[in-house]
Amino acid sequence: MIMEGSSLALFGAALGAGLVALSVAFGIGKIGAAAMQAISRQPESAGKIQTAMIISCALIEGVALFGTLVCLLISNK
């Protein structure tokens, strides 16, 4: 069955948004795991590690929002 252009665009947008969500979840999970491991090794620097972790997670979330927005805007053309 051949898909029409608009349904193919929606499928691509959904696939792209799903990949963005999975990538973000994996990346933030890796950051959290590395931060917890670093804090367990050096508990006295927990504040600095936690601050860096939160900033990194916020930047990744911003990129994820941008990627999802691009996927959704492309599907509306």
Residues 1 and 34 sit within 8 Å (Cβ to Cβ): no
Residues 24 and 61 sit within 8 Å (Cβ to Cβ): yes
Q: Which pLDDT tens digit goes with each residue over 30-70?
A: 999 999 999 999 999 999 999 999 999 999 999 999 999 99
Query: Range with the lowest mean pLDDT among 7-11, 16-20, 51-55?
Result: 7-11
Each domain of the chain, given as residue ranges in start order, spans 22-75
User: Can you give the C-alpha Rg of the chain in angstroms?
Assistant: 18
pTM, two decimal places? 0.80
Q: Which residue has the higher pLDDT, 75 or 9?
A: 9
Query: Is residue 1 pLDDT above 60, yes or no?
Result: no
> Which fold does the domain 22-75 belong to in CATH?
F1FO ATP Synthase (1.20.20)
